[in-house]
Amino acid sequence: MAERRFDIARLPGFATIAIAAFVVLYVPIFTLVAFSFNGGNSIAVWSGFSLRWYTDAWANEAVKAATIRSLVIASSAAILATTVATMAAIGTTRRRAFKGQTLIYVAINQPLMVPEIVTAVALMIVFGIVKQATGYQGLGYLILAHAAFCVPFAYLPIRARLEGMDLSLETAAADLYATPWQCFRHVTLPLLGPGIIAGAMLAFVISLDDVVITEFVKSGGQDTLPTYMLGQMRRAITPEVNAISTLLLMLTVVLLTAFFLLTRKKA
């Protein structure tokens, strides 16, 4: 008699739990998208299909300014965080184990383990001292704050990619008298590309979505899209918030689709 292999999908209740998980995850999102097309003033009472709130959001200069500011901050922070994370990942994987390596790993991932409010307050204090000393009030503080917070999010997929890479190609390049820079440029970096793209996209989305750190670090007139939406909800909630949220969701889906296509092409 042939032995039956264990299959988790055959366990009692597996299908029910799986369906329930998808319902909990996606029904609120579908509801949000549906009510972004609501013609009435309520965010939860359907009054007919309309693009009114998308039109209002497009015509809202405050929304446009906050969107541009968010994209600038998220793009800059993602570039900085990914650059630092790539160097950190190479420095902690492409060498022999050394004393204190675990401590360095913990230090890099500190923002993941410490409550975000603690990081926000710490950054607010440090940047407050710098503002007093320099008088500078620009977006640089938000970019640096977001980059610092996003480093571990970019670091994890890059490190995972490095750990899964075969060292034989780099060793062969070194045996063929390639300099360390040539080896990195022509061998390591192309192989590491999908991990870098994944880290950059994750850092971009985390920065674009951040509220807590932004609220503590930003100066007057530096609202990002999430903080603008939070401010609007404190005053009066309209389906315009649903429309803006749906557009952010669409942007995320586009980024994930682009990442899938890029990594599939490389594969």
Can you list the alpha helix ranges (DSSP code H) found in the chain? 14-35, 52-59, 61-93, 101-108, 110-113, 116-134, 140-163, 168-175, 180-183, 189-209, 212-217, 225-235, 239-266
- Residue 7: pLDDT over 50: yes
Q: What is the pLDDT of residues 10-45, one digit of tens each?
A: 777 778 888 899 899 889 888 888 888 888 887 777
pLDDT of residue 267: 44
Q: Is the pLDDT of residue 8 over 80?
A: no
- Across residues 103-114, what is the average pLDDT? 82
Q: Which residues, listed in sequence order, are joined to residue 49 by a DSSP beta bridge?
A: 38
User: How many CB atoms are closer than 10 A to CB 88?
Assistant: 20
Mean pLDDT computed over 149-158? 90
Position 92 pLDDT exceeds 70? yes
Instruction: Give the pLDDT score at 80.
Output: 95
- CA–CA distance, 170 with 185 (Å, rounded to integer): 11
Residue type present at position 150: C
Q: Determine the average pLDDT of the residues in 64-92.
A: 91
Residue 94 has pLDDT above 60, yes or no: yes
The DSSP annotation for 75-138 comes to: HHHHHHHHHHHHHHHHHHHSS---TTHHHHHHHHTHHHHS-HHHHHHHHHHHHHHHHHHH---S
What φ, ψ does residue 181 adopt, rounded to 5°? -70, -40
What average pLDDT does range 138-158 have in this prediction? 91
Phi, psi angles (nearest 5°) of residue 38: -75, 135
- Describe the crossing of helices 239-266 and 52-59 by its angle, rounded to 10 degrees: 80
218 in Cβ contact with 59 (< 8 Å)? no
- CA dist 139 and 259 (Å) reads 28
CA angle 170, 175, 180 (to 5 degrees): 55
Average pLDDT of every residue of the chain? 84
Q: What CA–CA distance (Å, rounded) separates 92 from 101?
A: 7
DSSP-assigned letter for residue 10: G
pLDDT of residue 259: 67
Token look-up 């939860």 returns 44
Per-residue pLDDT band at 214 (split at 50, 70, 90): very high
Yes or no: say if 49 and 39 are a contact pair by the CB < 8 Å rule. Answer: yes
Q: Which two tokens stand for residue 246?
A: 């749906």
Average pLDDT over residues 249-265: 73
Instruction: For the domain covering 8-266, report its CATH number.
Output: 1.10.3720.10
